[in-house]
Amino acid sequence: MKELLDRALADRYGVAAFNIINDLTIEAVVAAAAEERAPVILQTSVKTVKQYGRPQLFAIVQALAHDASVPVTLHLDHCPDRSVIADCLDGGWNSVLFDAHELDVAENLRQTTEVVAEARKVGAHVEGEIEGIQGVEDDLGSDEAAPVQSLEVAVDFIERTGVDCFAPAIGNAHGQYKRTPVLDAQRISDLVAATGIPMALHGGTGLSDEQFTDLIARGCAKVNISTALKETFMQSGLEFLRETAERGKWDPPSLFRHQRTAVLEMARRHIRLFGGSGRAW
């Protein structure tokens, strides 16, 4: 993750980080990245890890992404459970987001420092956060807005823990926005200027193209897309199944092809918007 994001921060583009949910979405996202010649991050939620089991999920990712023609990295998204963090690091994940925002900052800092040390032992990287991103995603989070820490507290956390990437709260939220979000974009600029590390933008689904472009230019080198992938996958399936019911012709491979095409196009659209096209090496 660090190599992908450091390059993106230096050249001010965003690496799309998609929360994949199964083999079809993994393959479609990797195919989109290959078509666009873009680096990409495959993210797994704790829920998806537990659904498949860590060894099985890693085997699926490895089978579909190991020989990709572009840089692909595997990231564990919002995880408050240290045992799952340790299991995924031992099991081949390239990076993790240790989500300890519900702890006080001092305890979060202490435990995140330990997670960074664990990750370094296996050559992996860590994303950190000290403020909850509003909204519930994969059964984690809250619809209540979390208090935002001062710039000084955030910078101290980043410097003392040694995290490779930081996810600040700037008025963003997981899920679909109920109203147009008002974002504190200046906080991204201030954090990047003070620390020199890439920022992660959570709650990307529903932001305007202009908001994405501005935040990426300020230093959001990692841009998370979860809701858009889930909705694309499920809505394209629903659309196809409704037509299938009318025709009375049931052909699962046709359903899968339809969903793959929809997810691939969704991924390509975001990769292009974030400036990732042509950035592979």
What confidence tens digit (pLDDT) does each residue in 241-274 have?
Answer: 999 999 999 999 999 999 999 999 999 999 999 9
The answer to whether residue 88 scores a pLDDT higher than 70 is yes
How many other β-carbons are positioned within 10 Å of the β-carbon of residue 241?
13
What mean pLDDT do residues 12-28 have? 98
**Residues designated as active site:** 77
**Confidence bin at 135 (pLDDT 50/70/90):** very low
The answer to whether residue 206 scores a pLDDT higher than 80 is no
- Measured CA to CA, the distance from residue 26 to residue 43 in angstroms comes to 10
Secondary structure of the chain in the HEC alphabet? CHHHHHHHHHHCCCEEEEECCCHHHHHHHHHHHHHHCCCEEEEECHHHHHHHCHHHHHHHHHHHHCCCCCCEEEEEEEECCHHHHHHHHHCCCCEEEEECCCCCHHHHHHHHHHHHHHHHHCCCEEEEECCCCEEEECCEEECCCCCCCCHHHHHHHHHHHCCCEECCCCCCECCCCCCCCCCCHHHHHHHHHHHCCCEEECCCCCCCHHHHHHHHHHCEEEEEECHHHHHHHHHHHHHHHHHHHHHCCCCHHHHHHHHHHHHHHHHHHHHHHCCCCCCCC
Write down the pLDDT at residue 131.
Answer: 86
The answer to whether residue 136 scores a pLDDT higher than 70 is no
What mean pLDDT do residues 81-110 have? 96
Q: Encode 90-102: b = buried (16+ Cβ within 10 Å), e = exposed.
A: ebbbbbbbbbbbe
Antiparallel, parallel or unpaired: β 72-79 and 40-44: parallel
The answer to whether residue 138 scores a pLDDT higher than 60 is no
Phi and psi torsions of 144, nearest 5°: -85, 135
What mean pLDDT do residues 173-187 have? 70
What confidence tens digit (pLDDT) does each residue in 52-63 have?
Answer: 999 999 999 999
Q: What percent of the chain has pLDDT over 90?
A: 85
The answer to whether residue 133 scores a pLDDT higher than 90 is no
Write down the pLDDT at residue 209.
Answer: 93
Least confident span in 6-15, 97-106, 116-125, 198-207: 198-207
What mean pLDDT do residues 179-194 have? 88
The candidate with the shortest Cα–Cα distance to 101, out of 139, 137, 141, is: 141
Antiparallel, parallel or unpaired: β 140-142 and 135-137: antiparallel
